[in-house]
Every structure is written in structure tokens, then in C-alpha cells.
Structure 1
């Protein structure tokens, strides 16, 4: 069975609270496209809830629902991407962050919301089994890793505490050595959050590069990352501050290198997307771990019980109609057979003729 790990950062906190989606438009950048597929440049906007199904189709699987977006071309049916990498970068609404990374395609996102890769993940699990492929989900609330059993200890050395992160940030492989920090430094909480997230992504990439057998097993891999440190810096120092500009520059340069490194790791057969999302700034500050396991927020005291029904699966109407009309058909069939048997004339049946007790007359 695949190993699922949820690691919490108990000593590092970020500025977070009540993340309300802004009305501004998010943008999806496709930074690397394998030769086996293609994206139409003028396909128009794509809804955020369709991104996971688009990834499923790109990897060669059937989407969970009919796609309204027609920007993806099928391409080579006998060769599909070996991995998909999605990086979501959060920024304060209205900050107008200009990306400094190279992209091949750019699409506007409608119906902005959290992008979940569950549909693509389930497609891979159904085709190859639960213990196949790599699933890595790194967000500001949790870190989830699904690996085959023999690789389940691959990421055990990733830092899980503030001390571990500080060690990585001051080591030979520190992300601080790759970029000019400018006005940012590790004395600020928001700065540390940003550098820590980038350091984790770099460490994860280094671990994968040292385990080629994991990425060359013929099973598509899924990677999902969320960088919230840019929004933390913008909230802490202001959108127009030098710190915010330096943070935007560092994130753009890092994503450019990260995208190229992932593509090279999978021999240019990895699909890489970067999602720039605008969200409201933090309304207040709370102490919270950078990778804390997400838990549902309790209802506030005195909140009315609205008796709202739970969310139904999108396939529920299909199953309902199957069971409904199958039941109707069987009921009508049973009633028809019972009616025919009830009004059957015994004299017309071969059964009663062959079992007659009358003596045969010569």
C-alpha cells in the first residue's frame, strides 16, 4: 500500500486567516509542454474546476466530466507526459504581480477557487493501483506524500521543524545562495516563510534527482505546490514595498529554474503549469504552522443550524436513474408475468393435458 504522510511544522508560523477569494482574475501559465501534446493558444478562459480534468486528459485518462474547455489537443496517443507539476502562487489582490518566468501558453482562469488534483489522482490509482506513482501535495496548510512502499522513506529527511529549515537555509544547498536577497532577510517572519517554502521545493527536487528509478517506472506522477510566502511578504511590508518587489523577483526566477529542472528530470516529458492567484490580504495575524495539517473550522458560537444537505457526488444522478428505471422495468415485468399466470386457462396448457386422470377411451 502507498504511504501517506502528513507533516506539520510546529515551530514556524505564517500570517494567515480567512482566505477569501478576490474578484480579480487569476492566470494559468503553462511553462513546459511535452512534444506529445499541444495547447491551443486562443482557447479562451478555463474554469478552475476543470484544470484537474484537463490534466487527466493530458496524461491519457478519461475526464470525470465532459470538458467545456477546448484548449488541449490530444496529440500522440501512444506517448503521454510522465508527470504533471502545478505550482500555485498566492499574491495580495490588486498587487498586479508581473511574472518573470518564461511561459509557452497563458490562460485566464474563471470561477477562481482552489485547484484540486483528486480527479487526476484517482485516474492514476484506478489504472495502476494505489501503490503506484508519486503524489506530492505541498500547501501552506499541509504536506501530503504518496509513494510506493519501497520509496516511502524517500522524503524523511525533508525538514519538519523550524530548526531543520534553518539548517537547510544556512547549508551548502541553501536557496539563499541561488538568488540576490535584496531587502529580504531571515530576521522577518514573512521572509522566512517565503524562503522556507522555496527551500522545501528545492530539497524535494534534489531527492527526486537522486532516485531515478522512482520517476522512470512508467507511471505518471503528480506534483502540486502552493507558495504563500509572496502574499505574506506583501501583507507584512506592503504591496509597493521594496521587499514585495524583491520577493516577486525571487519567486519568478525560482519558478523559471524549477520548471526547467523538472522538465529535465523527466527528460522533457513533464507538463508544468504555474497558477497566479490573487487573494485578499490577511485580516488579522494568527500563529500557525507553515505545513500544519488542515482541520475544519468549528462553527462560531450561536451560529444558526441551516440544516444544509451534504454535497452529492456528480455521478449521483446517473446512479439514481439507473436504479429507478431498472426497478420500474422489473416491477412491470413481474406484474405482467403474474397477470398471465393468474388468468391462464388450464385446458390450453400441455401440462394439464399430460397429467389428466381420465381413462383413455378406445
Structure 2
């Protein structure tokens, strides 16, 4: 009986271990400021909690209570300037490994596209008089659909396969010159989609560096990028093909470079994450839209459980806090001195004793 029980325990352990090992849906923290800490032993995270975790890291309220404890309490006086997330989709059975500072399996077996609508809307509502950079790229007819408050900057970026091709072939920042890809050929639609998505990321980063004044403010930004080119190559050429393996290597290397680029852009004050998911059959990806577009029933801070903020709030908070601390220390020092004061050292005692003697 004891032998059977021990075998059952071993089998259960192996089942859990193998199940976790084969779990391909993963939440990666690629880059983060020193004042944002993650607990690598926190365990799996729900896919629908990813944007709430990012909202918390930016100092915003989540849409609901979160039981996951992977995000540790950090410096309340410092918050990241931006959140950048990559939605990477691959074919079922593939494994995408990214260099990271923390990684967590996603509990959901069938994740699909990780939404960030709440995160972007929370930023826009919390800073109604400001213009944060809210960039969301998805696949919907054309290759990319951009929604931003800065059409003069991002509106000039290519938004289709044909439009991105000149920058990919002849642009100064073309990724074809930076990565060796002998097995990939941009004349194939899947290969072109893969490189076009990476080139779009490069163009966005270059545009932001040219307009760095937009990121040097007190308003957090949010950017979401959809990367489905790897899955397209795996479906076209095969999961274990040379082309698929080469594309996966290029993607891993490129995300390291682009992550470091965003860290430099935001002066090491940005949290860069990635969510790797496997393709869900018959899954419909959502359409891209401007997160700040007008709607018939606009959301309010009460709807989102987000407080309206003033850009001067940190200054007033620090002034009140440190004035209160100084006042408390001053009162304590005076009280301490009076408590242990020798009566002979006080002018009141000396004047009173002299008057008694004269009387």
C-alpha cells in the first residue's frame, strides 16, 4: 500500500512537472527599472491580469483585485515612464525563449491576444489634459493599424506590406542589414510579414528618438505590438524547418536590441514585457483602434476606479510629507529637551526664586 502511494505521488509530481514544462504561454519581463521588482517564484499568472499588473507598475488602479503576488512593492516616489508589451504568437508545439529578468507561465491554456485596452484607457482618463503616447498595432486587413494622439509622427509610418517595403530594402535603419538571414526570403508573404513587423518596431523607435521631447514628461505611455510573423513562417515552412528556427533566433535577438533601445529612450525608466502564446484555431484577432477616439458613452474615472490626477501632485505631496516630518522631529526635540531640563537652567526658575527671597 505504501509502495502504491509513493508511486502515485511520483506520478502526480511528474504530471505537474511535465505540464508546466510544456506550457508555452509565458509572460516575460524583458527589461524593467531598478525600482520595479518581480518575485520569480510567484507562480502562474492569468492572461487577463497582465494589463492590470502593468497598470499597477505605472501607479494606476487595476480593473479588479489581483491575488497574484509577482509584482513587489517598489518605490512609491518613482514609477516607470512607459509600458511596452509584445504579443508574440507562434504555432502550437513551438517554444519561444526570450532573454529576461523574470518569467511566469500563463495559467490559461488558450490565451489568444492579450488585451491592453483597459491600461490605455486608464492612462487617458487619469491624465485627461495631457497627451500620452498610446500606440497599439494589430493585424486587421492592412498589416498595421496605428492609433495615437500624434498622427504627425506615427501617421507617416508605413501601414501596409507595400508601404514598409522601401524602408525594409533601402532604409538606413533596415533590419535586413543588421541580421543575417540566409534562409529567409522577403519575396515570400510570410517572410515579408515577419520582417515588416520588426521593421515597424524599428521605425517607431527611430521616430520616438527624433521626438524625444514627447517622452520627457510626467505622463506614462503605453505601447502594444503584435508580432504574428513567426507563426506565419511556421505554418508556411513547417514548425521544425530551418526558416522557422532562423526566424525564432532573429526574433529573440531583435527583442533584446529593441528592449535596450526603449530603455535608452526612457532613461532606464520603462518596463518592457512580452507574452508568448500559441495560435488558437479559428481565433479572431481584434481590430486596432485609437484608444482615445470619441465614443457615445465615454468612460469616467468612477467607471474605471481611477482617480483624476494633477501633474503637480507629486510636488505637493513631497512638500507636505517632508514638512510634516520636520515639524514632528522639531516638536520631539523640544519636548525631549524640556523633559530633561534642569530647573536651575531656566530663566523662569531663577527669576521666581529671586523674587521669593526679596519678599
TM-score (norm 1): 0.68
Name the residue aligned to 2:318.
Answer: none
1:36 aligns with 2:38: no
Q: Distance in 2 between matches of 1:131 and 1:152?
A: 16
Gaps of 5+ in 1: 1-22, 284-289, 295-314, 319-362
**What per-residue deviation string (whole Å, max 9, x for no partner) do you get for residues 41-74 of structure 1?**
1001000101111111100111111001111112
Q: What is the aligned counterpart of 1:106 among 103, 109, 118?
A: 103
C-alpha change, 1:168 and 1:236, in structure 2 (3 Å) is: same
Secondary structure in 1 matching 2:104: strand
- Larger RCO, structures 1/2 (Cα 8 Å, 6+ apart): 1
Name the residue aligned to 2:183.
Answer: 183
Secondary structure in 2 matching 1:72: coil
1:146 aligns with 2:148: yes
Q: Distance in 2 between matches of 1:65 and 1:223?
A: 22
Secondary structure in 2 matching 1:247: helix
Q: Distance in 1 between matches of 2:67 and 2:286?
A: 34
Secondary structure in 2 matching 1:106: strand
**What per-residue deviation string (whole Å, max 9, x for no partner) do you get for residues 197-230 of structure 1?**
1111100000001111110121000010110000
**Partners of 1:143 and 1:291 within 8 A in 2:** no
**Would you identify which runs of 4 or more consecutive aligned residues in structure 1 move more than 6 Å?**
none
Q: What are the residue-to-residue correspondences of 1:267-286 with 2, within 5 Å?
A: 267-280=267-280
RMSD (CA atoms): 2.4
TM-score (norm 2): 0.69
Q: What are the residue-to-residue correspondences of 1:13-162 with 2, within 5 Å?
A: 25-97=24-96, 99=97, 101-111=98-108, 112-129=111-128, 131-141=130-140, 142-147=144-149, 151-162=150-161
Q: Distance in 2 between matches of 1:84 and 1:25?
A: 23
C-alpha change, 1:242 and 1:25, in structure 2 (3 Å) is: closer
Q: Distance in 2 between matches of 1:292 and 1:159?
A: 17
**Partners of 1:88 and 1:276 within 8 A in 2:** yes
Name the residue aligned to 1:173.
Answer: 173
Secondary structure in 2 matching 1:31: strand
| Distance apart, 1:173 and its partner CA | 2.0
Name the residue aligned to 1:298.
Answer: none
Name the residue aligned to 1:244.
Answer: 244
Structure having the larger proportion of residues in helix: 2
| Distance apart, 1:102 and its partner CA | 2.1
Moved more, 205-214 or 104-113: 104-113
| Distance apart, 1:246 and its partner CA | 0.7
Q: What are the residue-to-residue correspondences of 1:260-271 with 2, within 5 Å?
A: 260-271=260-271
C-alpha change, 1:215 and 1:152, in structure 2 (3 Å) is: same
Number of equivalences: 264
Gaps of 5+ in 2: 1-21, 290-301, 306-359
Q: Distance in 1 between matches of 2:178 and 2:205?
A: 15
